[in-house]
């Protein structure tokens, strides 16, 4: 039988003292606070008192580390899937505010609806919903947890809600270690819950693209 509910979980805070846009760069790990956030997310899902039969995460270190508390609680081995990864971004590895002050970079902002600075929003939506549907139908009942990143989760929210994919990244409702939950009814995804179980006050959250 298919899954019952699917939870998209964002990773916890990353140790990022230089405040760079880390994107897909390697060796960006959770901070101590980030590990506490990931544990809070796992506790929240466990508190729903629903069986969890599948755990997925992107290949990046911060999502694999954020999946660890889920693996321990539900006795699951995370399945790494590249479709959950952070999108590409030409500003990766830079301090965003400084980059935007350079007129040479303004060309990358010419088409925000695409967006012109990285992977198209439509591509993100397709890979995310494709994996979600594939995993849903392959499940042996229970809930699924997928640990991903801010942009893919928010783009999925917009696609499911039938809203334009173009948006201001500063307006995303996708806090660190937040949990956005969906159900598939027939062939239509529906968002059924959003929760921010982790304390994120004072957290550094400048690495999302």
Residue 36 resides in a domain: yes
Residue 91 resides in a domain: yes
DSSP string, 86-137: PPPBTTTTS-HHHHHTSGGGGGGGS-TTTTTTBS-HHHHHHHHHHHHHHHHH
Residue 200 resides in a domain: no
Please list the alpha-helical segments (H only) found in 26-60: 32-47
Q: Within 10 A of 149 (CB to CB), how many other CB atoms are there?
A: 25
Q: Is 177 helix (H, G, I), strand (E, B) or coil?
A: coil
| Domain range for 89 | 5-195
Mean pLDDT of the chain: 96
**CATH at residue 93:** 3.40.50.1240
Residue 44 resides in a domain: yes
Total number of domains constituting the chain: 1
Q: Which residues, including other chains, have CB under 8 Å from residue 171's CB and lie 6 or more apart?
A: none
pLDDT, tens only, 105-132? 999 999 999 999 999 999 999 999 999 9
Residue 94 resides in a domain: yes
Task: Identify the residue whose tokens are 């201001």.
Answer: 168
Distance in angstroms (rounded) separating the CA atoms of residues 193 and 180: 6
DSSP state of 36: H
Nearest to 5 by CA among 64, 50, 72: 50
Residue 209 has pLDDT above 80, yes or no: no
pTM (whole model) above 0.85: yes
What are the tokens at 197?
């179980």
Residue 203 resides in a domain: no
Residue 114 resides in a domain: yes
Q: Which residues, including other chains, have CB under 8 Å from residue 208's CB and lie 6 or more apart?
A: 21, 86, 149, 150, 151, 169, 172
Residue 59 has pLDDT above 80, yes or no: yes
């Amino acid at each position: 039988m298919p899954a019952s509910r699917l939870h998209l979980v964002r990773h916890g805070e990353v140790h990022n003292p230089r405040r760079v846009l880390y994107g897909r760069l390697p060796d960006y790990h959770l901070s101590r606070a980030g590990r506490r956030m990931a544990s809070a997310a796992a506790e929240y899902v466990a508190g729903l008192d629903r069986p969890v039969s599948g755990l997925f995460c992107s290949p990046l270190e911060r999502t694999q580390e954020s999946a660890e508390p889920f693996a321990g609680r539900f006795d699951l081995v995370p399945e790494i899937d590249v479709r959950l990864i952070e999108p590409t971004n030409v500003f990766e590895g830079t301090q965003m505010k400084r980059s935007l002050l350079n007129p040479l970079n303004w060309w990358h902002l010419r088409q925000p609806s695409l967006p012109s600075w990285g992977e198209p929003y439509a591509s993100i939506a397709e890979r995310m919903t494709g994996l979600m549907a594939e995993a849903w139908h392959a499940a042996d009942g229970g809930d699924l947890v997928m640990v991903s990143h801010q942009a893919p989760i928010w783009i999925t929210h917009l696609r499911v809600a039938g809203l334009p994919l173009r948006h201001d990244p500063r307006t995303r409702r996708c806090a660190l270690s937040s949990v956005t939950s969906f159900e598939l009814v027939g062939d239509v995804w529906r968002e059924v819950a959003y929760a921010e179980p982790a304390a994120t006050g004072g957290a550094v959250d400048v690495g999302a693209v």
